[in-house]
């Protein structure tokens, strides 16, 4: 079930502490391993292959019906496979998700019906999946660590491919089947267990899979109810579903009820009988609503789950009947609720985040200088003249662009309207120490404030240090001597594959157009830009 | 004792920024500005070139020395830093303060020689450098900057207006036309327009910085003036000096265990908890009569007072020296540091050359009893102080007597505490929610759970009368008219409250949506005198713990089950 749709929320407002459960390094070897000299890795692999078997001559198609639980919620999952193509549809209460691969292109559809193709930002997962399937290749980094007596007697193989995760695979000492797998992802130890193995088309596969990251209410569980093998699969069952249009506009171009306070984009919507302020947050992969607001406006919540961005918090899925911006409306919008709220320096309450599902519904034009926000019907949008045009990738529902720090190129910088300042993540900083070296201002700040700096975000804080780099280059725009916050040891916040965040300090110097449907971002320099840097 | 302070803090916490009146004078550009053809890009480019940059690759260390005058008092500071480790020594007349940080552990040794851990950032050591942080405001792309024009006096300079992101007031920076550097910076602090002047720029290792900084808020006697006398960048530094030192208690004299005279006065008062409901508070104050200069003065004993205080008027009556500090300005008294040559606590404990803060306050506890000072952390950390509320007695033990807990606390509960800048905090549970931010303060009249906690865990502190979550006014609707403008204090019903040894079931405790300012450390709750009066309280600061032993009042009031 790895690679399935996992709702994430990358909110750059948030930031820090290691979660309480993370007492051990998530990449540390399992406890209780005893050395073993009676068997080799090659022998284990050979016996594992024998145990799994080989597919018979029937067509490589499968149709599977699963029951599924996610924390406190339960639902169903249907999988169609034909060769390398597959489609997986999951239903949890009123929510429906899907993902798949067709013709070599992977895609996802979220619970608001928005479909997007994936560019491969998270290729580490693929790297590990390949390594696990090819343990005898040197590139897998596989190493037999020994054997354990529990949870079942098993041989433990460490898998550590370059550019991948550290992973521990447990092969049952009696059956040689893979019965448990532990992987260190984003600062968490994710554990999959497999049992109830059954044979179909010559291959033994588990009919029961359990996933746990150790956090309350985050366990997932799959039980296979039926499997049809070797029968033709209707191509329509593998098709990529059309993307829905979750936002209705009253005209081809509308001015949203918005204001920009201290570079934060605040949208005011009517929910039930109340006005609610949302932060338009491109760093959020969905819509987040304050739990108290949800309860008070009668928004129905479903289940509970534990999430970590800057810190750990409990969230629920929710269905908001109507989010009404007057000129733009979302109906039956899938969202999350969490104990998130904040107040701006002028006392404006913000009770939610308006992220991907809203931004993707139209082209959003943010005029930072004049404090206005427009929504433009994608069909009537013409890219502005003189704009810096940047392709974006939306694998996680957040816009990712390429940028250069000094002379170091990074392909995965998150454009985040919710982040006060731009950030460089620790992995990028470690990989490019020369380009992420301070040009003076960071040292001057440290000289007068030699303390650990934090930035606030959803659920907690993230530790940072100020570093002024020689230049930040986005497309053809080069911004000299840029001050970044460099995050320190915040794996859950950073994620595994991002290089950093482009925040409001950059964006406020432009008219910004988010065109998610064409996967483009346009930056038009404004007067602020011209006054500072000419042009 | 702290009721008045509490009320003031609440008022401050609830002051709505939106309600703050804009003041044209605060925001007005400086006079004498004429148009200029210079552009922002030109001014910033010239400044960047003039300021230069530190030579790359230099070690992240600095050693510098300053002389200064603050509010009339001259002093010196030496500051040594390596990365995030630092040590500073600040000498003002007879007062010596030392600050340090080593591997993330901060500390402060005050004028009485007493050391406290400091877990929050402290800025005193870096005041003069913080005045230079403004110099980069115009270059910060988060701020809106415009060129207003130029002035001719006192030096020809370009004037830039800076509107900080999210700020209420503009700033004005004067860029010297000849040097490109900043001569002057005007900005607003707490609704007062201030001016900082910079000169004597010198270049060290490629970076040009001012060696003379003068700050004024318009009240000349209170001006700050800093002159740098040396600066070395990049030289290796011995890390030993960053390490936390031990306290010295040369100002406290007592010989072995002593029984000290105190009075306990229990004040009873009604607290309005809304909807025509009132909560009766019975809170004790520990009163210590000190003999100072032949006068008997009543001091309160406070477990959470970082430094000892004396009332300004009393200090004047006692002719306590100000050592040159300005003590009156703009028609108001100005707090100052002073030294009490000798204060006798009975005949058993003497305080000699006791550095205290003279500040305007007094508290009429009752007819004939006027509190004119507070005994705080510096004195209390010199030994183990036991308060016997039932019998109005106090004892002090030498720290060594509790190196292994004394027999009399064998059956008492131990609360491990962490001291932050002289404030004792401990970890407790409120309805199963753990918090390390519970302040232990016998001088706080009531135990209270504050807004940071009640807003995060509203279900934990339900209203004891209604049984409902007291959160209805806290929902952050955009069209709410009441949020943030009303303080709510309610009697909470906590199903399970662990404050130190006390495990209260269904305990009624006051709760509020307001936060309180005790400095940079978050405070989720305070265990105050209303609960502590049920115990013999042993403040064992030398060993970072407090012992609580239930007294007779406890057994008279509470039904309890002994721990098995």
Q: Is B64 helix (H, G, I), strand (E, B) or coil?
A: strand
Mark yes or no for CB contact A276/B478 under 8 Å. yes
Kindly state the average pLDDT of the residues A517-525.
Answer: 97
* A269-285: pLDDT as tens digits: 999 999 999 999 999 99
CB contact under 8 A, A276 and B54: no
Average pLDDT rounded to a whole number, residues A442-460? 80
Check A447 against B129: CB less than 8 A apart. yes
So what's the pLDDT on residue B24?
83
What confidence category does residue B560 fall into, taking pLDDT thresholds of 50, 70 and 90? low
| Residue where a domain terminates, one of A321, A351, A380 | A380
Confidence of residue A346 (pLDDT cuts 50, 70, 90): confident
Chain B: nearest CA to A346, how far in angstroms?
A: 5
Whether A154 and A90 share a structural domain: yes
- State residue B419's pLDDT score: 95
Rounded CA-CA distance A490/B432 in Å is: 27
* Helices first, then strands: H and E counts in chain B: 9, 38
**pLDDT cut 70: percent of chain B above it:** 89
Top pLDDT among A174 and A5 is at A174
- Interface probe for A, chosen from B66, B458, B477 (most Cβ of A below 10 Å), is B477
- pLDDT, mean of residues B492-497: 74
pLDDT at B207 over 80: yes
pLDDT average, residue stretch B193-204: 97
Q: How confident is the model at residue A439 (pLDDT cuts 50, 70, 90)?
A: confident
A440 contacts in B (CB within 8 Å)? Answer: 53-54, 207
Least-confidence region, from A372-386, B132-146, B297-311, B492-506: B492-506
Chain B residues whose CB is inside 8 A of the A262 CB are: 165-166
pLDDT at B485: 42
Q: CB distance B41–A276 less than 8 Å?
A: no
Provide the pLDDT for residue A323: 97
From the candidates B142, B158, B206, B420, which should be mutated to test the interface with A, based on the most A CB atoms within 10 A?
B142
- Residue A67 and residue A146 in one domain: yes
What secondary structure does DSSP assign to B326-367, as a single string?
--EETTEE--EEEEEEEEEETTTEEEEEEEEEEES--EEEET
Q: Do B477 and A276 touch (CB under 8 A)?
A: yes
Measured CA distances, A425 to A422, A429, B240, B485, B532 (Å): 10, 6, 33, 39, 48
The nearest alpha carbon in chain A to B233 belongs to: A447
Per-residue pLDDT tens digits for B316-344: 999 999 999 999 998 899 999 999 999 99
Rg, chain B, Cα only:
27
Q: What is the spatial distance between Cα B351 and Cα B293, in angstroms, rounded to a whole number? A: 12
> Among B161, B421, B478, which would you mutate to test the A interface (most chain A Cβ atoms within 10 Å of its Cβ)?
B478
């309600």: which residue's tokens? B19
Would the CB atoms of A531 and B136 count as touching at under 8 Å?
A: no
- Closest residue in chain B to residue A267, using alpha carbons only: B478
Chain B environment of A447 (Cβ under 8 Å): 62, 81, 129
- Domain assignment present for A460: yes
pTM for the model stands at 0.85
Is A206 in the same domain as A87? yes
| Closest residue in A to B165 (Cα–Cα) | A262
What is residue A352's predicted lDDT score, i.e. its pLDDT? 94
Are the beta carbons of A474 and A506 closer than 8 angstroms? yes
Q: Domain for residue A486, yes or no?
A: yes
Kindly tell me if the per-residue pLDDT of A240 is higher than 80: yes
Q: A205 and A280 in one domain?
A: no
Q: Do A481 and A375 fall within a single domain?
A: no
Give the span between the Cα atoms of B361 and B58, in whole angstroms: 50
Angle of CA points B560, B562, B564, to nearest 5°? 145
Mean pLDDT (chain A) is 90
Q: What is the mean pLDDT of residues A35-63?
A: 93
Each residue of B25-84: pLDDT tens digit?
Answer: 899 999 999 999 999 999 999 999 999 988 777 778 999 999 999 999 999 999 999 999
- B476 → closest Cβ in A341, A345, A447: A341
Answer yes or no: do A443 and B85 touch at CB < 8 A: no
User: What pLDDT does B410 receive?
Assistant: 81
Number of domains in chain A: 3
Q: Is the ipTM of this complex over 0.85?
A: no
- Indicate the pLDDT class of residue A508, thresholds 50, 70 and 90: very high
Residue A105: domain span: 20-238
The pLDDT score that the predictor gives to residue B3 is 39
Q: In angstroms, rounded to a whole number, what is the distance separating the alpha carbons of residues B120 and B107? A: 10
Among A354-368, A483-497, B371-385, name the one with the lowest average pLDDT: A483-497
Residue pair B32/B186 in contact by the 8 Å Cβ criterion? no
Q: What is the mean pLDDT of residues B1-20?
A: 36
Give the model's pLDDT for residue A3.
36
Query: Same domain, yes or no, for A436 and A501?
Result: yes
pLDDT single digits (tens) A169-223: 999 999 999 999 999 987 889 999 999 999 988 899 999 999 998 888 889 999 9
- Can you tell me which residue has the tokens 């070797």? A230
Of A178, A205, A238, the last residue of a domain is: A238
Residue B10 sits at φ, ψ, to 5 deg, of -60, -40
Residue A8 has pLDDT above 50, yes or no: no
CA distances for B470 relative to A351, B452, B488, B526, angstroms:
18, 14, 9, 19
B-interface mutation test, from A532, A533, A534, A535, most B Cβ less than 10 A away: A532
CB contact under 8 A, A531 and B18: no
Mean pLDDT for A14-34 is: 62
Both tokens assigned to B289: 């009569």
Q: Across residues A476-493, what is the average pLDDT?
A: 88
> In terms of domains, do A213 and A260 share one?
no
Question: Does the pLDDT of residue B216 top 60, yes or no?
Answer: yes
Query: How close is the nearest chain A Cα to the Cα of B57, in Å?
Result: 9
Are A251 and A352 part of one and the same domain? yes
Using the predicted structure, report yes or no on whether residue A143 has a pLDDT greater than 80. Answer: yes
Q: Has residue A19 got a pLDDT over 80? A: no
**Which pLDDT does position B85 carry in this prediction?**
95
Q: How many residues are there in chain A? A: 535
pLDDT of residue B2: 42
Residue of A nearest to B120 (CA): A451
- Parallel, antiparallel, or unpaired: how do β-strands B423-430 and B144-151 relate? unpaired
Residue B62 with chain A: CB contacts under 8 Å: 447
Residue A263 sits in the same domain as residue A407: no
Q: Is residue A6 a part of any domain in this protein?
A: no
- For residue B171, the distance in angstroms to the closest alpha carbon of chain A comes to 16
- Among A194, A218, A238, residue at a domain's last position: A238
Does A483 share its domain with A508? yes
CA angle B270, B273, B278 (to 5 degrees): 40
Q: Which of B53, B146, B477 sits opposite A275 (nearest CB)?
A: B477
- Looking at the fold, whether A36 and A92 belong to one and the same domain comes out as yes
Cα nearest neighbour of B87 on chain A: A450
CB contact under 8 A, A532 and B60: no
Residue B17 has pLDDT above 50, yes or no: no
Q: Which residue has the higher pLDDT, A311 or A406?
A: A406
Count of all residues that appear for chain B in the document? 564
Cβ contact B54–A349 (<8 Å)? no
**Chain B residue at shortest CA distance from A443:** B60
Does pLDDT of A20 surpass 60? no
Q: Indicate whether A270 belongs to any domain.
A: yes
Q: Is the pLDDT of residue B105 over 50?
A: yes
Residue of B nearest to A479 (CA): B141
Residue A308: inside a domain: yes
Note the pLDDT of residue A216.
80
- What is the pLDDT averaged over residues A137-159? 96
Any idea which of A448-452, A526-530, B170-174 has the lowest mean pLDDT? A448-452
Contact at CB, A532 and B41, closer than 8 angstroms: yes
More confident call, A149 vs B564: A149
Distance from CA of B517 to the nearest CA of A (A): 18
Would you say residue A320 lies in a domain? yes
Contact B141 A451 (CB under 8 A): no
CA distance B227 to chain A (A): 16
The CATH number given to whatever domain includes residue A436 is 2.40.70.10
Q: How far apart are CA B444 and CA B459, in angstroms?
A: 25
Q: Distance between CA atoms of A371 and A262, rounded to whole angstroms?
A: 10
Partner-chain contact A506 B479, CB within 8 Å: no
Contact between A293 and B474 using a beta-carbon 8 Å cutoff? no
Q: How confident is the model at residue B469 (pLDDT cuts 50, 70, 90)?
A: low
Q: Is 60 exceeded by the pLDDT of residue B472?
A: no
CA distances from A21 to A214, A308, A378, B432, B435 (A): 7, 12, 45, 17, 17
Q: Are β-strands B433-440 and B525-527 bridged in parallel, bridged antiparallel, or unpaired?
A: parallel
Structural domain contains residue A5: no
Contact residues on chain B for A506, CB-CB shorter than 8 A: 141
pLDDT at A13 over 50: no
- Partners of A420 on chain B (C-beta within 8 Å) are 142, 165
Q: A22 pLDDT band (50/70/90 cuts)?
A: very low
More confident call, B9 vs A70: A70
At residue A480's C-alpha, the angle toward residues A476 and A485, to 5°, is: 105
pLDDT, one tens digit per residue, over B439-466 is 999 988 888 888 888 877 777 777 776 6
**Is the same domain home to A159 and A64?**
yes
**Cis amide linkage into residue B154, ω under 30° from 0:** yes
- Whole-number percent of chain A with pLDDT over 70: 94
The minimal CB distance from B475 to the residues A261, A296, A443 is found for: A296
Most confident by average pLDDT, A292-306, A318-332, B269-283: A318-332
Contact B126 A290 (CB under 8 A): no
User: How far, in Å, CA of A221 to CA of A206, rounded?
Assistant: 12
Tens digit of each residue's pLDDT (9 = 90 or more) over B136-169: 999 898 999 999 999 998 899 999 999 998 888 9
- Overall average pLDDT of the B362-370 stretch: 74
Predicted confidence at residue B561, as pLDDT, reads: 62
Residue A99 sits in a domain of what CATH number? 2.50.20
A·B CB contacts under 8 A = 128
Residues in chain A with CB shorter than 8 Å from the CB of B16 are 347
The dihedrals phi and psi of A465, each to the nearest 5 degrees, come to -130, 145
Chain A residue with Cα closest to B469: A292
Distance of residue A452 Cα from the nearest chain B Cα, in angstroms: 8
Looking at residue A17, its pLDDT comes to: 27
Q: What is the DSSP letter of B471?
A: T
Q: pLDDT at position B480, please?
A: 57
Determine whether A204 is exposed, middle or buried from the number of CB atoms within 10 Å of its CB (0-12, 13-18, 19+).
middle
């Amino acid at each position: 079930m790895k690679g399935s749709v996992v709702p994430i929320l990358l909110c750059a407002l948030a930031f820090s502490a290691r979660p309480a459960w993370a007492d051990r390094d998530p990449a540390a070897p399992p406890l209780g391993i005893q050395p073993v000299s009676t068997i080799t890795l090659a022998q284990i692999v050979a016996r594992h292959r024998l145990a799994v078997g080989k597919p018979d001559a029937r067509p490589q198609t499968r149709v599977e019906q699963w029951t599924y639980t996610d924390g406190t919620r339960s639902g169903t999952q249907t999988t169609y496979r034909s060769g390398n193509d597959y489609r997986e549809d999951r239903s949890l209460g009123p929510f429906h998700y899907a993902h798949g691969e067709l013709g070599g292109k992977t895609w996802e559809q979220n619970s608001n019906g928005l479909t997007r193709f994936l560019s491969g930002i998270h290729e580490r997962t693929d790297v590990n999946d390949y390594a696990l399937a090819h343990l005898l290749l040197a590139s897998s980094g596989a190493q037999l660590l020994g054997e354990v007596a529990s949870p079942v007697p098993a041989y433990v193989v460490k898998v550590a491919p370059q550019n991948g995760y550290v992973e521990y695979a447990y092969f049952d000492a009696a059956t040689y089947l893979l019965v448990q797998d532990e992987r260190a992802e984003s600062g968490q130890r994710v554990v999959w267990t497999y049992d109830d193995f059954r044979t179909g088309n010559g291959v033994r596969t588990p009919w029961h899979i359990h996933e746990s990251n150790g956090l309350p209410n985050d366990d997932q569980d799959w039980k296979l109810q039926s499997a049809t093998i070797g029968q033709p699969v209707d191509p329509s069952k593998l098709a990529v579903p059309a993307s829905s249009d979750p936002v209705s506009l009253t005209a081809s171009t509308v001015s949203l009820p918005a204001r920009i306070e201290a570079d934060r984009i605040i949208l005011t919507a009517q929910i039930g009988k109340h006005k609610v302020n949302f932060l338009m947050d491109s760093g959020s992969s969905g819509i987040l609503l304050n739990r108290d607001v949800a309860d008070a406006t009668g928004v129905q919540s479903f289940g509970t789950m534990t999430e970590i961005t800057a810190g750990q918090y409990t969230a629920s899925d929710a269905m908001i009947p109507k989010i009404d911006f007057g000129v733009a409306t979302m109906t039956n919008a899938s969202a999350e609720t969490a104990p998130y709220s904040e107040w701006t320096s002028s006392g404006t309450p913000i009770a939610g985040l308006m992220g991907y599902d809203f931004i993707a519904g139209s082209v959003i034009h943010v005029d930072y200088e004049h404090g206005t926000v427009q929504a433009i019907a994608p069909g009537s949008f013409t890219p502005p003249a003189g704009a810096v045009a940047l392709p974006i990738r939306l694998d996680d529902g957040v816009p990712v662009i390429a940028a250069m720090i000094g002379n170091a190129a990074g392909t995965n910088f998150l454009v985040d309207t919710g982040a006060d300042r731009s950030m460089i993540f620790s992995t990028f900083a470690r990989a490019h120490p020369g380009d992420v070296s301070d040009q003076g201002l960071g040292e001057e700040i440290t000289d007068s404030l030699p303390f650990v700096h934090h930035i606030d975000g959803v659920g907690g804080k993230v530790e940072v240090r100020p570093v002024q780099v020689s230049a930040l280059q986005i497309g053809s725009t080069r911004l000299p001597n840029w001050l970044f916050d460099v995050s320190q040891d915040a794996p859950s916040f950073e994620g595994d594959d991002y290089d950093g965040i482009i925040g409001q300090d950059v964006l406020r110097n432009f008219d910004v157009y988010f065109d998610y449907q064409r996967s483009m971002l346009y930056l038009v320099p404004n007067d602020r830009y011209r006054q500072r840097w000419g042009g | 004792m702290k009721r008045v302070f509490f009320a003031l803090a609440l008022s401050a916490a609830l002051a709505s920024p939106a309600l703050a009146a804009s003041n044209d004078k605060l925001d007005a550009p400086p006079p004498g500005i004429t148009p200029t053809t210079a552009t922002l890009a030109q001014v910033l480019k010239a400044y960047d070139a003039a300021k230069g940059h530190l030579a790359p690759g230099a070690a992240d260390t600095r050693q510098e020395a300053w002389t200064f005058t603050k509010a009339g008092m001259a002093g010196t500071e030496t500051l040594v830093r390596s990365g995030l480790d630092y040590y500073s020594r600040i000498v003002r007349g007879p007062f010596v303060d030392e600050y340090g940080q080593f591997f993330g552990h901060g500390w402060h040794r005050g004028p009485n020689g007493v050391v406290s851990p400091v877990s929050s950032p402290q800025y005193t050591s870096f005041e003069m450098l913080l005045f230079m942080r403004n110099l980069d405001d115009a270059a910060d792309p988060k701020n809106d900057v415009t060129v207003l024009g130029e002035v001719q006096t006192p030096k020809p300079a370009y004037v830039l207006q800076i509107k900080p992101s999210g700020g209420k007031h503009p700033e004005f920076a004067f860029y010297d036309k000849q040097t490109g550097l900043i001569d002057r910076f005007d900005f607003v602090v707490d609704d007062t327009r201030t001016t900082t002047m910079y000169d004597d720029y010198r270049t060290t290792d490629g970076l040009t910085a001012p060696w003379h900084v003068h700050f004024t808020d318009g009240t000349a006697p209170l001006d700050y003036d800093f002159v740098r006398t040396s600066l070395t960048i990049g030289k290796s530094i011995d890390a030993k000096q960053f390490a936390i030192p031990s306290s010295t208690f040369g100002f406290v004299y007592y010989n072995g265990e002593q029984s000290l005279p105190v009075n306990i006065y229990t004040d009873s008062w009604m607290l309005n908890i809304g909807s025509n409901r009132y909560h009766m508070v019975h809170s004790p104050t520990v009163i210590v009569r000190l003999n100072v200069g032949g006068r008997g003065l009543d001091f309160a004993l406070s477990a959470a007072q970082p430094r000892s205080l004396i009332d300004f008027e009393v200090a004047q009556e006692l002719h306590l020296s100000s050592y040159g500090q300005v003590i009156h300005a703009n028609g108001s008294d100005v707090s100052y540091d002073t030294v009490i040559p000798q204060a006798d606590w009975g005949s058993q404990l003497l305080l000699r050359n006791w550095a205290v803060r003279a500040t305007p306050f007094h508290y009429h506890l009752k007819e004939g009893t006027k509190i004119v000072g507070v005994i705080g952390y510096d004195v209390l950390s010199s030994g183990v102080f036991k308060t016997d509320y039932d019998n109005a007695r106090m004892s002090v033990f030498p720290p060594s007597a509790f190196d292994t807990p004394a027999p009399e606390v064998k059956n008492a509960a131990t609360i491990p505490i962490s001291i932050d800048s002289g404030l004792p905090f401990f970890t407790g549970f409120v309805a199963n929610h753990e918090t390390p931010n519970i302040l232990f303060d016998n001088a706080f009249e009531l135990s209270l759970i504050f807004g940071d906690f009640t807003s995060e865990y509203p279900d934990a502190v339900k209203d004891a009368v209604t049984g409902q979550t007291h959160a209805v006014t806290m929902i952050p609707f955009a069209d709410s008219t009441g949020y943030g403008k009303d303080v709510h204090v309610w009697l909470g019903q906590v199903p399970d409250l662990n404050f130190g040894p006390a495990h209260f079931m269904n305990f009624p405790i006051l709760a509020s949506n307001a936060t309180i300012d005790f400095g940079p450390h978050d405070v989720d709750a305070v265990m105050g005198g209303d609960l502590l009066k049920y115990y013999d309280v042993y403040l064992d600061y030398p060993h970072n713990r407090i012992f609580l032993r239930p007294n007779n009042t406890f057994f008279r009031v509470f039904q309890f089950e002994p721990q098995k």
